[in-house]
Structure 1
Amino acid sequence: MEEASDYSIVWVTAPDLKVARDLVKEVLALHLAACAKIIPGIESHYWWQSQLESASECQIVFKTRKALMAALGEVIQAHHPYEVPECVSVAMQEGLPSYLQWIDQETDQPPTNA
């Protein structure tokens, strides 16, 4: 394993699979992340406008470089239907060198039409 503090794992929730897939397609087409996982059927409970709410949502998990976080966040904000979308990240601690190199390779590409 290798030190990986230049890389991030990003969580974004989406209201359904269509929105999640659209967000993933946009982020990956811009090479702002190397990959994304969509986890359907999560149950979220949260406060919204002083009301306790719950919803069935999808969780998206992106793997990216810290240097791309601002741009990734801008894309999520611009294309997400929520007024206040969840887009949070944590720094990776360690990773296999080959995996980290793969993230570098895939996020160091020009935008494509995915």
Structure 2
Amino acid sequence: MVGYGGCAVRRAALSPAPSGTGAHAARPDGRRAAGRAAARRAAALIPIRTIRQCVGMIQNTSDCIEVRVTAGSRDEADRICSAVVERRLAAGAQIVAPIESTYWWAGEVQHSQEWLLLMTTTTGRFEDLARCVRELHSYEVPQIIASALVAGTADYLEWIRRETAPGSGG
């Protein structure tokens, strides 16, 4: 099941299965994997809301991103999150902590405890956000990576855009 803004639908209802992989796909022994009843259940919608109502709540996006940064201490994580939100470089920021990281540094495998920061912003604000993080970060090469938000609720994505717009005051 997948939930979208109060809507729940079966995964099979969101995208059709490739040919030969559905509920009636033949197994290696030549028998069918499931009967008609199983196929109907796999494709059925859960009637919390109709799919048509749900689709109106979901918006594709190409300008909203989630930025991930790791910090070496809770204080550093707090400083970075506060700065990027106060400067409106991110609409919001969360600290996930602590995490255990394993990575190569100075020719050796390192193990350390870090704090993961998740920040929502737009592609247009990424460079300024990265510059702010570098100013406040203790690492020589901090992790500053972004992932596209493929979809989200229209009101949430609009909130990100509004709160990070240059010159926005709230």
Same structural fold, with TM-score higher than 0.5 when normalized by the shorter chain: yes
Q: Point out where structure 1 has 5 or more consecutive residues left out of the alignment.
A: none
More divergent stretch after superposition (103-112 vs 40-49): 103-112
* Higher RCO (CA < 8 A, seq sep 6+): 1
| TM-score (ref. length: structure 2) | 0.63
Cα pair distance change 1:111/1:15, threshold 3 Å: farther
Which residue of structure 2 aligns with residue 69 of structure 1?
Answer: 126
Aligned amino acid, residue 140 of structure 2: E
Which residue of structure 2 aligns with residue 38 of structure 1?
Answer: 95
Matches within 5 A, 1:20-31: 20-31=77-88
Which residue of structure 2 aligns with residue 19 of structure 1?
Answer: 76
Q: Which whole-Å deviations, capped at 9, do the CAs of 1:37-93 have from their partners, x for residues lacking one?
A: 100110000000101100000000000011000000111111100000000001110
Which residue of structure 2 aligns with residue 103 of structure 1?
Answer: 160
Instruction: Report SS of the residue matched to 1:85.
Output: coil
Aligned amino acid, residue 36 of structure 1: A
Aligned amino acid, residue 145 of structure 2: V
Which of the residues 133, 137, 141 maps onto 1:84? 141
- Contact conserved, 1:11 with 1:87, CA < 8 A, in 2? yes
Q: Point out where structure 2 has 5 or more consecutive residues left out of the alignment.
A: 1-57
Aligned length: 112
| TM-score (ref. length: structure 1) | 0.93
Question: Aligned partners of 2:103, 2:165: CA distance in 1, in Å?
Answer: 36
Which residue of structure 2 aligns with residue 8 of structure 1?
Answer: 65
Aligned amino acid, residue 86 of structure 1: Q
Query: Higher strand share goes to which structure?
Result: 1
Which of the residues 106, 109, 120 maps onto 1:52? 109
Q: How far off is 1:108 after superposition?
A: 2.0
Which of the residues 87, 93, 97 maps onto 2:150? 93
Aligned amino acid, residue 50 of structure 1: G
Q: How far off is 1:7 after superposition?
A: 0.6
The structure with more radius of gyration = 2
Q: How far off is 1:33 after superposition?
A: 0.5
- Contact conserved, 2:162 with 2:168, CA < 8 A, in 1? no
- Contact conserved, 1:2 with 1:94, CA < 8 A, in 2? yes
- Contact conserved, 1:30 with 1:110, CA < 8 A, in 2? no
- Contact conserved, 1:8 with 1:64, CA < 8 A, in 2? yes
Q: How far off is 1:110 after superposition?
A: 3.9
